[in-house]
A and B are shown apart, each in its own frame.
Chain A
Amino acid sequence: MSQKEKKTNRRDFLYTASYTVGAVGLGAVIWPLIDQMNPDKAQKALATTEVDITNIEPGKEITVLWRGKPVFLKRRTPEEIAEARSVKMDDLPDPQRDEERVKEGKDEWLVMLGVCTHLGCVPLKNKGDYKGWFCPCHGSHYDVSGRIRKGPAPKNMEIPKFEFVDNNTIKIG
């Protein structure tokens, strides 16, 4: 016994092999229990929404529900677009050009998640220091392009995946 204390033997191999198989098995059992909490098929099936935009006048905004979250659809006036594009990138905490936030040729349509990137409240329209949106929860100010300008939110309001099905219909998701 004493002369081969450190020698690996059959028993060590059996221990290691058993622990390994046990750990893999445990993981295989735990994963379904964790993954069941992720969005289910019914939730994923609700993933697109079509919106008729025929009646939205320039300067007006509507809110629709997509995946349980509000989406702002704003038809911006030329002045608002000009203002959004005149902002210096250095003034933005999360620099992004207005052109990157809209579809080319459809510059007047701003489609974005109406969810404050701080802690998820719905910002109020035409409020705040930058003529865009203001979140009442913790005081984040967004500009007419939905970009964060002041307050605790770290990012611009998110632009969801969307497309123009035709001139009067937007499909979100």
Chain B
Amino acid sequence: MSDKEYQPKSKAGKWFNDRLPLLTLGAHLTDYPTPKNLNYWWTFGGILTFCLLTQIITGIVLAMHYVAHADLAFASVEHIMRDVNYGWLIRYIHSNGASMFFLAVYIHIFRSLFYGSYKSPREVIWIIGLLIYLLMMAAAFMGYVLPWGQMSFWGATVITNLFSAIPLVGDSITTWLWGAYSVDNPTLNRFFSLHYLIPFLILGLVVLHIWALHVPGNNNPVGIDIKKPSKDTVPFHPYITIKDTFALLMFMIIFAGFVFFSPNVLGHSDNYIPANPLVTPAHIVPEWYLLPFYAILRSVPDKLGGVILMFGAIFILFVLPWLDTSKVRSAVFRPIYRQFYWIFVVDVLLLGYMGAMPAEGIYLVLARVGTIYYFLHFLVVLPVVGLLEKTDPIPLSISEPVLSGGAKLSMAKKDNEKF
């Protein structure tokens, strides 16, 4: 490890670094050898860091004005929107920021699925990432409850009632979560407390995620192991930092587009009606980023079965590195898997659409087909394709063309550019 050889130039720097090697860490992050062929799908790690910091900063500011009480919460959010200086801006950044966060994380996850970034030796990075994703969903759900509108209240009711499906102890667990006999003020209070906590837990996991990443180093579009540092790598700074910054700016344009031109398009208008425990809105839908799982929940005609499948859809991702039997990482060299990958993408989008539609008629049928395929993809397609598929020749390094021709590598490059 070349990191160990780092020596600060100044005497004061050396004095400090001998006591706390922060400068060594900084040098490691700056010089960190990165595959030179990373495409723009690899910029979402940086974008996600930005999203997390945005949510933390805007969240801390909102908490200065928000009141976590069933009688006051709704009014305090309106107070933020109307009275607090720039309150509308900060709240719209925070609420749309959640959607942007999920947009980025889904691209990040699907990038990993395409290029096989979850495979050995990066399983731990993948699992930590999934833990972050779970915490994100918990934080987003609790955050959505805080304005105490109709969707807040009934979303909280439906989601907490999922736990009542657990045999024997289900009702006790639900009452314990509520702190009352229904979703009520104690529920709102604790959700606020946890909503404030979770982002910092995520921040801690992000550190572990990056730490685990820096052990084997980045995967890359070709998916092969590379020597580091070598002619296949470039230092993180300035090559990757500038690329990440450019992508982040593009992302921020889209983000700002939502915040300034259609800040409520991703939300639900029913949440501007104060919570009413006597009236359930006609269509309860979660935020868009939870819709595929909601579709799976509703597609099962049995309460416990639906809950099990919904959680199963997430937890099956934890064993993905062991379900995919192919040693080849990148889908660029996996002609069969590549097709199933896109079918899977369409399947998840379909499930998301079905989750937004009423659970009846053709929608229910399609949701069931989508649910079955979702699990087939992991339990049948991935293990079987990995064993039977004849993969394309893999290049020996990023710089050298495969065998003599190099046709495949140029194909790979074209493939990347398309994204």
Q: Please list the residues of chain A having a beta carbon within 8 angstroms of any beta carbon in chain B.
A: 34, 37-40, 43, 47, 63, 65, 67-70, 117-122, 135-139, 151-154
Smallest CB gap from B302: residue in A: A152
The answer to whether B79 has its CB under 8 Å from any CB of chain A is: no
Within 8 Å CB of B405, what residues of A? none
- Helix, strand, loop or mixed for chain A's interface? loop
13 pairs, A vs B, C-beta closer than 8 Å: A37-B177, A37-B179, A37-B190, A39-B175, A39-B180, A39-B181, A39-B186, A70-B278, A121-B280, A122-B280, A136-B282, A139-B360, A152-B298
Residue among B158, B176, B180 making CB contact with A68, cutoff 8 Å: B180
| Distance in Å: Cβ of A8 to nearest Cβ of chain B | 38
Within 8 Å CB of B301, what residues of A? 151-152
| Distance in Å: Cβ of A120 to nearest Cβ of chain B | 4
The answer to whether B279 has its CB under 8 Å from any CB of chain A is: yes
Count of residues in B whose CB is under 8 Å from the partner chain: 37
Beyond the given pairs A43-B181, A120-B160, 5 more chain A to chain B contacts, judged by CB atoms under 8 angstroms and listed by A's residue number, are A39-B178, A68-B182, A69-B181, A119-B303, A136-B281
The answer to whether B162 has its CB under 8 Å from any CB of chain A is: yes
Smallest CB gap from B157: residue in A: A120
Most chain-A CB neighbours within 10 Å: which of B158, B180, B186? B180
CB 8 Å contact bits of B151-193 with A (1 = contact, 0 = none): 0001001101110100000000001111111111010001000
Residue among B190, B304, B359 making CB contact with A138, cutoff 8 Å: B359
CA of A117 to CA of B302 in the docked complex: distance in angstroms?
12
CA of A153 to CA of B158 in the docked complex: distance in angstroms?
12
| Distance in Å: Cβ of B160 to nearest Cβ of chain A | 8
Asked whether, in the complex, the Cβ of A137 is within 8 Å of the Cβ of B179, the reply is no
Asked whether, in the complex, the Cβ of B158 is within 8 Å of the Cβ of A70, the reply is no
The answer to whether B127 has its CB under 8 Å from any CB of chain A is: no
Residues facing A in B356-398 (CB within 8 A) are 358-360
CA of A172 to CA of B136 in the docked complex: distance in angstroms?
40
CA of A138 to CA of B299 in the docked complex: distance in angstroms?
10
CA of A154 to CA of B303 in the docked complex: distance in angstroms?
7
Within 8 Å CB of B182, what residues of A? 67-69, 120
Q: Please list the residues of chain B having a beta carbon within 8 angstroms of any beta carbon in chain A.
A: 154, 157-158, 160-162, 164, 175-184, 186, 190, 277-284, 298, 300-304, 306, 358-360
Asked whether, in the complex, the Cβ of A121 is within 8 Å of the Cβ of B186, the reply is no
| Distance in Å: Cβ of A137 to nearest Cβ of chain B | 5
Q: Decide: A38 near B277, CB < 8 A? Known: A136-B283, A154-B302.
A: no
Asked whether, in the complex, the Cβ of A67 is within 8 Å of the Cβ of B180, the reply is yes
3 A-B pairs with the lowest CB-CB distances in the bound complex, closest first: A68-B182, A67-B181, A120-B161
Asked whether, in the complex, the Cβ of B284 is within 8 Å of the Cβ of A43, the reply is no
CA of A125 to CA of B398 in the docked complex: distance in angstroms?
67
Within 8 Å CB of A139, what residues of B? 358-360
Q: Decide: A40 near B278, CB < 8 A? Known: A139-B359, A152-B306, A154-B302.
A: no
| Distance in Å: Cβ of A38 to nearest Cβ of chain B | 5
Asked whether, in the complex, the Cβ of A63 is within 8 Å of the Cβ of B278, the reply is yes
Within 8 Å CB of B279, what residues of A? 122
Asked whether, in the complex, the Cβ of B179 is within 8 Å of the Cβ of A65, the reply is no
CA of A68 to CA of B279 in the docked complex: distance in angstroms?
12
CA of A138 to CA of B300 in the docked complex: distance in angstroms?
11
Asked whether, in the complex, the Cβ of B277 is within 8 Å of the Cβ of A70, the reply is yes
Asked whether, in the complex, the Cβ of A65 is within 8 Å of the Cβ of B278, the reply is yes
| Distance in Å: Cβ of A80 to nearest Cβ of chain B | 23
Asked whether, in the complex, the Cβ of B176 is within 8 Å of the Cβ of A38, the reply is yes
Residue among A68, A117, A152 making CB contact with B277, cutoff 8 Å: A68
| Distance in Å: Cβ of B75 to nearest Cβ of chain A | 20
Within 8 Å CB of A153, what residues of B? 303
Q: Decide: A40 near B302, CB < 8 A? Known: A63-B278, A67-B180, A67-B181.
A: no
Within 8 Å CB of A118, what residues of B? 161, 303
Asked whether, in the complex, the Cβ of A37 is within 8 Å of the Cβ of B181, the reply is no
Within 8 Å CB of B283, what residues of A? 136
Residue among A34, A40, A63, A120 making CB contact with B158, cutoff 8 Å: A120
Q: Decide: A40 near B183, CB < 8 A? Known: A136-B280, A152-B302.
A: no
Q: Decide: A137 near B181, CB < 8 A? Known: A38-B176, A152-B303.
A: no
CA of A65 to CA of B181 in the docked complex: distance in angstroms?
11
CA of A154 to CA of B167 in the docked complex: distance in angstroms?
12
| Distance in Å: Cβ of A105 to nearest Cβ of chain B | 29
